[in-house]
Amino acid sequence: MSGAGAPKLDQIDGTGLKIAVIAAQWHREVMDGLVAGAQRALAAAGVADAPLIRVPGAFELPVAALHAAEGSCDAVVALGVVIRGDTPHFDYVCQGATSGLTQVSLSTKKPVGFGLLTVDTEEQALARAGLAGSAEDKGAEAVEAVLATLQAILSIHQP
């Protein structure tokens, strides 16, 4: 299972932070689980300002994330799922979304939580979606990672 060896991140106080959640619409059941997990983690951290922005698919995540990061958001969480099919489309979408989200983070100097599932089957996606019976909650994990990264960045700039 992909979650083996994952670090246990400390609970971070997100009071006063604005964290945008950018979520794709493909594979509604999986996406609903990822979004719910992200929203639970944000609420647990005390983040009250967490706009949810929906885009058509994973390929559109970077441009929406860029606008959120260039705006008033402290960080962005990008959620999506791409399930391998019979054509190279999977490879292009995964590469484009991954590279685009990396560029957003580096160009804006704001953390982007990577909650993009790239899986072979719908069953693998459901196992990571944070639904009842899922082994993992990648939506919540993306929030935890973005908050921990934001805390690390802020500590670098503190005297």
Confirm if 19 and 148 have CB atoms less than 8 A apart.
Answer: no
Confirm if 83 and 119 have CB atoms less than 8 A apart.
Answer: yes
Distance (Å, whole) CA 113 – CA 75? 8
- In DSSP terms, 55 is beta-bridged to 24
What is the phi/psi pair of residue 131, to 5°? -85, 165
What is the phi/psi pair of residue 147, to 5°? -65, -40
Active site annotation includes 27:
no
Q: From the candidates 27, 67, 89, 157, give the one annotated as an active-site residue.
A: 89
Where does the chain show beta strands of DSSP type E? 19-24, 52-55, 75-83, 112-119
Which sequence positions are flagged as catalytic?
89
